[in-house]
Amino acid sequence: MSASPVDADRIPVIIGVGQINDRPADDAQGLDSLGLMRAALADAERDTGVSIDGRIDWLGVVDQISFPDPDIHQHLAQLLPRRPAHILRTREASGDGPVRLINDAANAIGRGDIRIAAAVGAEALRTASKRTKAAAGAAGAGAGGSNSLLEAAKAMASPLARQYGLLTPTDVYPLYENATRSAWGQSLAEAQAESAAIWSELSRTAAANPHAWLRKEIAAEDIARPSADNRVISFPYTKLMVANGSVNQGAAVILASLAMARELGVADDGLVYVGAGAAAHEDPDYLRRESFTESASLNATIKHSLRFNGLDVAQIDLVELYSCFPCIPKMARRQLGWPLDRPHSVYGGLTFGGGPIGNCMMHAIACMVDTLRGGDGNGLIVANGGFATHSHSIVLTTRPTRSGLFPQDYSVQAAADETRRARPPLLNTYVGPGRIETYSVPYDRLGAPLFATIVGRTPDHGRFLAHVDRQNVGVLDFLTSGRCDPVGARGQARLGADGRVLWDGER
């Protein structure tokens, strides 16, 4: 479908993508996040095949945590040949950030505000960790590394979550994993087999991706099986099932109006059109959500991103289903109707492709563009941020999009909220009979459970938390053995000496 000159100036296309993996012999000599962003932008400009020559009107930067700097977007803008008129940074280092930036840039092009935009992000956690350890050693403070991730998690957690040790993603996502396994009627073995099959396919994709951080295909049974090199991080997740944030990676995407792309002389087979997106979010306090068996926001963004683009799942050729932990792509593929035996990623996911905190999907977008170019197809990207908190899906396509698609209101929050059930009241302290709604069991480095946190429900449907100490081996074994489904099991909540509620389960 051809576009008129006026239409062509309001149609957003991606004209360049860049990715950087920084792996020096000495990690302390690696680039910092700003250096990675600058390198990724330069790589993206080379990919366009033309000279942008300081024409970027809009710069969007994904926030990062490796080298904290609230003005990193301004500092990056100062390094460009010309300071863009529009400069912004995402509110946090959240996995939905890259997709949101692409959608925002497409809207700015659709409004006629800009003609060229760049979205970029990076994390240098390997560099930051190495430098912190070196500095601690020089000061005689021992060999301990940076605790910035844990401290940031503690700062964001509610007092109740902190009291019961629900701090990091490895503490929280098992709540979804264990609840969905039960809701879908799966045994532990069946659920682990599904996770391992998806993750083995992710490793196969990464092995073929020159930009992936870990390029080795791993068999499903080796992903599921705990070992010295694949310890259990938090039940039921092994190390090879969780995001790998210990990376130095940067990625950038350059967009332009279709008219500007043609004016610059970008080859037609180098263009990928931006389709409409959809975004929604959950309550930021995951303990106050209505359920751990699904995400209304995830469901709504997948459904409406397809609807906004006039597509159904049969017309989707490629997907990137966010893969920080298996529960997210497993929920997404069920909403989408995506078969288990089809690839769930074009870049290798957050374990193997690399998990640079909030910028993972910028790498996925770059790989999606590379994969789509020169062909005839549609790709769907499903992004997730926070603790299954933020969702933003978007379509990329080689097929010319219709005039007037942008600007769009991508919020589908109302549609997500319409599908919600009543939320259970959250009780700070509860003593009495209850049943298990879901649970989380973090492990130590020797492969033993540290403790368990029970999310319980009262007889009148209130929600409470309870602690299981590591000495309570009977309950811990019941939760992790797989002999039966602990969800729904009854027990007794009692008040412990330290003020926490303790769980005595009926086994």
Fold (CATH) for 432-505:
OB fold (Dihydrolipoamide Acetyltransferase, E2P) (2.40.50)
The sheet that has 272-281: what strands, in order across it?
A: 86-89, 58-61, 116-124, 248-257, 12-21, 272-281, 390-397, 378-385, 318-321
**With 0-12 CB in 10 A as exposed, 13-18 as middle and 19+ as buried, what is 262?**
middle
Ranges 13-17, 21-25, 27-31: which has the least confidence: 27-31
CB-based contact 343:406 (threshold 8 Å): no
Tell me whether strands 116-124 and 58-61 are parallel, antiparallel or unpaired: parallel
Domain boundaries, the chain: 5-126+245-418, 432-505
What is the overall mean pLDDT for the chain?
94
- Token pair, residue 245, equals 């944030």
Q: Do domains 5-126+245-418 and 432-505 have the same CATH topology?
A: no
Decide which of 135 and 382 is more confident. Answer: 382
Phi, psi (rounded to 5 degrees) for 199: -70, -30
pLDDT band at 4 (very low <50, low <70, confident <90, very high): very low
Point out the least confidently predicted range of 130-134, 180-184, 387-391, 467-471: 130-134
Verdict on whether the full-model pTM lies above 0.75: yes
**353 Cβ neighbours under 8 A, 6+ residues apart:** 202, 205, 206, 209, 211, 212, 213, 214, 345, 347, 360, 363, 364, 367
Can you tell me which residue has the tokens 């995830």? 298
pLDDT band (50, 70, 90) for residue 143: very low
Residue in the structure block whose two tokens are 């997106």: 277
Task: Report, as an integer, the average pLDDT of 112-128.
Answer: 96
Q: Where is average pLDDT lowest: 15-29, 75-89, 128-142, 429-443?
A: 128-142
DSSP per residue over 1-47, as a string? Answer: ----HHHHTT-EEEEEEEEEE---SSGGGS--HHHHHHHHHHHHHHH
Q: Judge contact between 160 and 286, C-beta under 8 A.
A: no
Integer Cα distance of 77 and 87 in angstroms? 7
**CB within 8 A of 29, min separation 6: which ones?**
none
Higher pLDDT, 154 or 81: 81
Q: What is the architecture, at CATH level 2, of domain 5-126+245-418?
A: 3-Layer(aba) Sandwich (3.40)
Alpha helices in 143-187 (DSSP H): 148-156, 159-163, 169-183
What is the C-alpha radius of gyration for the chain, rounded to an integer number of angstroms? 23
pLDDT tens, residue by residue, 304-343: 999 999 999 999 999 999 999 999 999 999 999 999 999 9
